[in-house]
Structure 1
Amino acid sequence: MRWERLFEDLEHQLDSEWEAERAALDSEAERLRMSRLTLRDRLTVLADQSDEVAIDLVGPTATLRGRLTGAGADWCSVELGADAHVALIPLEAIAALGAARPALARSVRPGGPPRISDRMTLGFVLRDAARRRGGVRVHTITGGVHIGTIDRAGADHLDLALHEVDVPRRDAAVAGIRLIPFHAVSWVQLLGT
């Protein structure tokens, strides 16, 4: 009878140690997963949920509020209010992001399978905007605002033809050209396509 109780006690001890070891391994695995989680990963999950966000930007630009609609390799997009204009924001221009607590908690969970947009860079998206010839407002981290049409977008910069937003891009309407490096861009407001 004593031997049975001794074996039961030993079995319970081993079970307890096994559970403690498994819990420690699970904790370590979770810490490792979290250490690999990027801002882009979290933005992708938030965009899939169509959550409202408030994004504080680097520089003097005010906070942008709207519905997060997408995330790429180095940018995210936010639909701004009722006019449905879209803001493209380079990830390096984000100083802080706010969202509802449940949305932020869900954003640490793994997202869905990889998508093509995950690999699209800011340059790729701006080249598409140049092809569509829609008006844009380019806000810089120094507080400048440049309005016009993107003529071209390179690997790390864009050429912006400056003209009134309600006037089509014609040589006679262009007041000048600005070459703007991507690292100076706070956000780009797409006004029309």
Structure 2
Amino acid sequence: MRWDRFFDDLESQLASEWEAERAALDTEAERLRLSRVALRERLSVLVERESESAPPSFEVADGTVLVADVSGVGADWVALSDARSGALVVPFASIAAIGMPHADILRSARPAPARSILADRMTFGFVIRDLVRRRVSVSVHLSHGRMLAGTIDRAGADHLDIALHEPGTPRRASEVTGHRVVPFGAVAWIRLDSGATLA
């Protein structure tokens, strides 16, 4: 009888040690997986977020806090939208912090579904060139707090040219009050004029 209890105790002890070792390995594997997760992967999970929870808040380089749903994610930018603000484009480099409900933080840390190769190739410059092509009136908010309203005329490899005019009005030569060349690194976020979307 005693030997039976002795072997049962040994078996139980070995099972406990094996479980503890397996849990440690699982924890280490999860840490390794998380160390490889990029911000764009976490943000792409938020595109499918349930709308009944509070939308995320994005603190950006100019000190603005944008509270809006994630509507798209590119290689180095995120598209945001809400009924009040309309369509917004924020480069990752401008994001200082993201606030969201704890459930969304946990969900965004889980493995994301496979993304399209095209989405991973759509850089901030690609989005700016699309805005040039569509002649969309925008408000470009700069990292130091200034806002430039107008239409983006051209987009280079790392900068844009904007013709300044009144917000919400079409670009007409007679309405242009000036021009600016803006490095992409100086852009905190861009608001598309009402009705325009990133499509």
Same fold (TM over 0.5): yes
Equivalent AA in structure 1 for residue 129 of structure 2: R
Distance 1:70 1:4 in 2: 63
- 2:63 pairs with 1:55: no
Please say if residues 57 and 63 of structure 1, whose CA atoms lie closer than 8 Å, have aligned partners that are also in contact. yes
- Aligned partners of 1:104 and 1:49: how far apart in 2? 11
Amino acid at match of 1:58: A
Corresponding residue for 1:92?
Answer: 93
Partner of 1:5: 5
Shift of 1:181: 0.6
Task: State the identity as a percent.
Answer: 50
* Structure 1 residue 50: Cα displacement: 5.7
Q: Distance in 2 between matches of 1:147 and 1:50?
A: 33
Cα RMSD for the two superposed structures: 1.9
Q: Is the 8 A contact 1:50 1:67 kept in 2?
A: no
Determine the C-alpha separation between the residues in 2 that align with 1:40 and 1:105. 15
Moved over 6 A (4+): none
Alignment partner, residue 21 of structure 1: 21
- The answer as to 2:158 corresponding to 1:156 is yes
Count of residues in Structure 1 that have an aligned counterpart in Structure 2: 191
- Measure how far apart 1:154 and its partner are: 2.1
The worse-fitting range, judged by mean Cα deviation, of 38-47 and 17-26 is: 38-47
Superposed, which structure 2 residues align to 1:23-172 within 5 Å? Answer: 23-49=23-49, 52-59=55-62, 61-82=63-84, 85-115=86-116, 116-172=118-174
Structure 1: runs of 5 or more not aligned: none
- 2 CA distance for matches of 1:174 and 1:50? 42
Whichever residue aligns with residue 111 of structure 1, its letter is: A
Q: 1:106 to 1:166 in 2, by over 3 A?
A: closer
Q: Secondary structure at the match of 2:109?
A: coil
Deviates more, 1:49-58 or 1:152-161: 49-58
For the Cα contact (< 8 Å) 1:148–1:165, is it kept in 2? yes
- TM-score normalised over the length of structure 2: 0.87
Q: CA deviation at 1:93?
A: 0.8
Q: Distance in 2 between matches of 1:113 and 1:39?
A: 15
- Cα distance in 1 between the residues matched to 2:50 and 2:38: 19
Give, in whole Å, the separation in 1 of the partners of 2:99 and 2:38: 16
1:80 shift after superposition? 3.4
* Separation in 1, partners of 2:157, 2:50: 29
Instruction: Kindly provide the amino acid, as one letter, of the partner of residue 127 in structure 1.
Output: R
Deviation at 1:45?
A: 1.0
Code of the aligned partner of 2:131: A
Distance in 2 of aligned mates of 1:108 and 1:72: 18
- Give the stretch that moved more between structures: 154-163 or 19-28: 154-163
CA gap of 1:76–1:34, structure 2 versus 1, over 3 A, is: same
Q: Which residue of 2 aligns with 1:182?
A: 184
